[in-house]
Structure 1
Amino acid sequence: MALSLLLAVSCGEEERQETKKTIKVQVMDVGTDLSNSNHSVLEYSGTISSDATVNASFQVSGTVLQIPVQIGDFVKKNQLLAQIDPSVYTSRYEQQRAQEQLAKENFERINEVYSKGSIAEIRMLEAKSQYEQAKAAANMTYQNVRHTKIYAPMDGYISEQFMEAGDLAQPGQPVVEIMNIKAVKAVIPIPDGEINTLGKGDTATVKIPALANYEISGVVDEISIQANQGSPVYAAYVQLDNSDKTIKPGMACTVTFSNLEHKKGGGQSLIIPSECIAVTEDGKHFVYVVDQDHAERRYVQIGKLYDNGIAIEDGLGQGDKLIVSGYHKLTQSTPVEIVKKAN
């Protein structure tokens, strides 16, 4: 009986000594080491689009006489793009001009008689009104004559041609499409969980495989505020200089953002190695940090997963010494010894 009691006491002492054994660990300073700073790299696949695109169309209907441009042509502002048959509108304008001239002569004759006091004022006012109406009708008809021609609203390239000579054009029906590619944009889809990571003015590097992986820097100048219909994806636009017109709309591209701050509700999140995070049986996430030479279990709220780790939204503070090696041997309050700082 005494021997059994002695063995039990001995085993208990060994167990207590085991629990007090100091564990050697490596740590990293949260939010200060480069590897876990709250700046990261995000990469998206996108497509090049033109900075400005205009569909040129007639404001009046008629049969297309000519389209003196072709797809790929460079056009200057105010250059003729297309023309419809103006004969109907010219004829109407000549008729209106004749009526205007007749109304003008009638008004001048009646006004002269009125100035001599030989006719009532109402007769003069009626003649004046008829002249003004005829003049307005002639001006309106002349605008229709002008609208039988389409001129380029800007410098650019003809990217599409929707009609041919002989087709019947209707008001607002596109005839040709003009693209301005002096500046272009990389259009990239952004998941809803990352849309607040980007902001106007953020810089990006755009790589274009079709141009032998040509790289160019750009700036975010527009971010959609509404997701695509049926999909929680937003669009961001990165402005690129294309003075030499080498980059063409439709080219695939890869857009990389470096040194972005991961934001949530206006604050910042910290990035730590994902392998340092453990999960309890009830699904809570936790890590170990060093607190006065002891391991402290710290429950954390995790965020988005990135290339260099996972975002911690709550539970860690900048400067905390996160245990990144030896943590699998730890329990709450285990004595620890920092052997070296993790790279």
Structure 2
Amino acid sequence: MLAKKRGLFLFFLIFSLILASIYYIKFAKKAIVAPEPLTPKVEIIERKVENFAKKSYFLAKLHSNKSIIIISETDGTIKNKEFQIGDFVKKGQIIMQMTDTRKVLELKESEDLLEASKARLDEASSNYKNSLKLHEKNIISDKEKETQWNLYRSYKFEYEAQKIRYKKVLWEFDNLSIRAPFDGYINKYFFDIGQKISRGAQLIQFLDNNLLIGKANISSENAEKIRNSKGPLLVKNNKYSIEAKLLGIGRQMSNDAPSYKLEFEISNEDKTFIPGEVVELEIIIAEYKNHISFPTSAVTMEEDNYYLFIMKDLKVKKIRILPIRLNNKILIVPENKIPPQYKIITNGQAKLQDNDQVRIKN
């Protein structure tokens, strides 16, 4: 019985050792073998040679080249306004209508007096002509003919005086209608409907927008760049872009840092822009031919030196560069700085070293 128990014990012991050996062979050895490192993945762009232009941008405000203040030529009360601020008005159109009851009555009286004076003049003219015929026939004397002539002259002077008075009254009455002096825009009203106006009061600010003047404050550095630029000066708003004529750059007197004022003009016959509008100026300050561009994220910096990682046949090459900043997102270098057939690594280069192998992200 004891021998039988020993046999079972040995059997289970040997069986356990066999299982442990199998487990060790199958799993423990695998745990000891170190995993191979993964090849880093990177994002790339193609090497592309192009021409580039570096641009500067400024804000400027537009002003009308022709601005007048329309004043009242007579007294009156504003009856209505035919247009709103910002509306375009053609030459001769009525912008504002005033009224004055006294002038209406005065005009009617002047018309009646002129008409009566004209009737007397016509009668005196007819009488004088008849006197000439009668005098030729010796029916009336020289004195009677002279009397008719004097009457005619008197009524003639009276009529001319009444006509001058009528024209003056008519001119004042017509000036109750405020008309556009030229094609332009209403920029400001100085009075509202119902207000009384005195002769000489300012009524309307009126602008001609066919030619606009722009002004921008710039630094001395940008002033020098613009003077040396041969590129066009572009004026832009949210919808349109137009080339402007540079009028000049002048220094502004100030206690602060030196500054300059840039002035330009644009043709605005299409009414694309309006006075008072703030626009963006764009000017080319440098041009670069046969350069290669890449995003700023592609560059790494070590001890004030700039480096770029490029790749050929999945093998990395680290090169030192002196990039030119085109704008906040793009850098460029001459084409000879990046050898042909190489691609530029733009992402995933943080831990790369020269001659590393890489994979390309899908």
What TM-score does the superposition give when structure 2 sets the normalisation length? 0.47
Alignment TM-score, normalising by the size of structure 1:
0.49
- Whose helix proportion is higher, 1 or 2? 2
Larger Rg, first or second structure (1 or 2):
2
